[in-house]
Structure 1
């Protein structure tokens, strides 16, 4: 938004952003994956619809916020309560029903906040494509600034009050995991390729008439991941957040094998459920032997290579090792294990939280020995660094 913009336009933009942030925040609390870029897209979408028409606004927000189909009912209920503000605040419609094409009516207190600034909408959204972190006007931060700041906050600086919000943020980041399309074609309702064989079979039920063409699209291949997470004492400040990220990835893809290591190796996959992540972390901390104790990285990775490699790793697997590399164990075992893993896996990524410090150099014995046998050494000290890892999982 230009500094010379009229005060009314600035106020209009603040009202729209604030209301979108409140609405998106409530969606996230329900578990709906809505990101900051989605909020900006939603603000832009409102430029092209009739703000007085609840159906247009609902469809614009549902599309721009990229709401998955399974969340449509929750979205509609929340839209009625927080945005639409119909005559009956608790009124809702079932999934798939089309709300009546009516306009909001009522006094100033019953209409949606953005109705008051309808004439100013285009001007207020003139700067919607600017970077989110730079969207401050006259010293004021938009409502999503605390979350933006949390993305850059080091895990070892997070307070107890930050934990819940950080867990939600990491779960949201995991939902953006990149996917790749295979050459295999599968049935799809809106695929680009017509499946003539299935179309002919369908026509038999209609007397040979082609009422609807069957279609196909290239299948989505979710990444296959194997994660080995260091839970020794030196990783205490990071392991909770890194495991939260891993558990969120598993909830999204379902193709994640997880292990913890310190002085011994523990397979976590049988203990993990898709339920409450904080409760799962507490259960792991109680049951994993020598949690927050010492570490023997080489011996643990060698145990993984001997006992689990053939079962869990194949040519399409990405292996993630989450560790600071601080190890006083057998370096020869570490090199042997990594060489064996690297030969079988698609790639090996080592995520080191110490790399968030610009002064850090990978000169510890364990880290130095590992470097020749990993594809990438990347940082894992905050949410932003984990976000940068996502494209590497399917590259």
Structure 2
């Protein structure tokens, strides 16, 4: 098959055996007809139901497939040559994928559905993983006086390969399978965040610091009025407030569940010093839900409290609502504010820049976590992130467990 048959692009997967039941000649002709005739073809309904089931698999893979996209997908199938797997592939990719990150998940779903094994088509199994190459290293050196290598000698070997947990720590959260996400939940529960500290007004006894007149005089009175030791005091340390603002819009949906679990881990460490809000088309406070001990129950209650999950994004307006209702009244004052968002803004970027500057004047530190910042070749050129970046202290990548652990270190040192 030539490049022209693939639609002029080399991104399409290598041709695989198409689902034979879907591409029978008579059924294809019935699907390609106009819907003007009054007689309904049962073959057409069967094929349409099968393709609609494929869109459900794509949605389960993490692609935000809406009803409008499904309708556009079916219309594209009617105008395509279903005998060609490449045409079927591009009909779904151009209508069901709305973000560059959706392409990888769509490719996995397409490979699982249109495979040669019918069980894989129905169960939606992912493509088999590529074999990993293990590096072999000699454990011991041959003793002196041994053979020069012409003799076949058994040399002990050490198989060096990264463990599954180490590989999972650096994997992009959006590319994880269902089993890997379950393992990631266990790794998140093992995190031990250290909250940032601030100096309190109260003082405590210390070996170094300013002199403590009261304790010095009391010690002198107990010693007959003679000052033998100068007592000292220092400021107490208290946890500094941490505010987590998590974007739950459609473009952040592959990361939203993991970020909420991360927020639950941080909240459980210091429940009274952490506030969590979700950003989308509206502002939602989920601090009370995340203070529960059970993570599954906390996530379920938080999901029911969020009305705009996988919706649009109005960062400027929602950030202004947060500052007017919560931040200006003390939640953001001298706090470490962490914004989890990719920076996509449907509204005006100028409003987001103004509210980011306002937030910077209130907060102690502002950290922006963008999952795309950890990918090679990323440039913060989107309107939203470009407007907010001048008012941000740190820009981090929160796309993996390793980068989330790095964020905990930044919070500890704030």
TM-score (norm 1): 0.55
Give the Å deviation of 1:272: 2.6
Query: Is residue 152–residue 382 contact of structure 1 (8 Å, CA) maintained in 2?
Result: yes
Deviation (angstroms), 1:185: 4.6
Q: Deviations over 1:301-337 (max 9, x none)?
A: 0111111112343543101100000112122221121
Instruction: Provide the residue aligned with 2:159 in structure 1.
Output: 139
Q: Does 1:279 pair with 2:289?
A: no
The secondary structure found in structure 2 opposite 1:173 is coil
1:236–1:222: structure 2 CA closer, same or farther, 3 Å change rule? same
Query: How many residue pairs get matched?
Result: 247
Q: How far 1:241 sits from its partner (Å)?
A: 1.1
Give the C-alpha shift of residue 164 in structure 1. Answer: 2.9
Deviation at 1:173, TM superposition (A): 2.6
Give distance in 2, aligned partners of 1:391 and 1:179: 13
- Matches of 1:171 and 1:186, distance apart in 2: 34
Within 5 Å, give how 1:238-253 maps onto structure 2. Answer: 238-253=255-270
Equivalent in 380, 385, 391 of residue 398 of structure 2: 380
On the 8 A contact 1:323/1:352 being kept in 2, the answer is yes
Question: Quick check: 1:354–1:381 contact (8 Å CA) kept in 2?
Answer: yes
Show CA shifts across 1:230-278 (max 9, x none). Answer: 0001101111111111110111124111100101111111333332112
The change in CA–CA distance for 1:187 and 1:167 in structure 2 (over 3 A counts) is farther
Unaligned runs of 5+ residues in structure 1 are 1-136, 202-214
Q: Does 1:327 align with 2:323?
A: no
Tell me the secondary structure at the aligned position of residue 191 of structure 2: helix
SS in 2 for 1:308: helix
Q: Are 2:180 and 1:151 aligned?
A: no
Matches within 5 A, 1:332-343: 332-343=350-361
Distance 1:171 1:358 in 2: 29
Residue 297 in structure 1 maps to residue 315 in structure 2: yes
Q: 1:187 to 1:168 in 2, by over 3 A?
A: farther
Among 221, 242, 247, the alignment partner of 1:230 is: 247
Pick aligned residue for 2:238 from 207, 221, 224: 221
Matches within 5 A, 1:1-395: 138-139=158-159, 145-177=163-195, 185-186=203-204, 219-253=236-270, 254-393=272-411, 394-395=413-414
Relative to structure 1, the CA distance from residue 287 to residue 141 in structure 2 (aligned partners, 3 Å threshold; closer, same or farther) is: same
Work out whether residues 299 and 330 of structure 1, in 8 Å CA contact, stay in contact via their aligned partners in 2: no
What is the deviation of 1:390? 1.9
Name the structure 2 match of 1:37: none
Mapped contact 2:352–2:388 kept (Cα < 8 A)? yes
Gaps of 5+ in 2: 1-156, 219-231
Q: C-alpha separation between the residues in 2 aligned to 1:366 and 1:305?
A: 18
CA RMSD of aligned residues (A): 3.3
The worse-fitting range, judged by mean Cα deviation, of 162-171 and 238-247 is: 162-171
**Secondary structure of 1:285 counterpart:** helix
TM-aligned CA deviation for residue 149 of structure 1: 1.8
Residues 313, 345 of structure 1: 8 Å contact kept:
no
CA distance in 2, matches of 1:157, 1:177: 30
Shift of 1:182: 6.5
TM-score by length of 2: 0.52
Give 1 or 2 for the bigger CA radius of gyration: 2
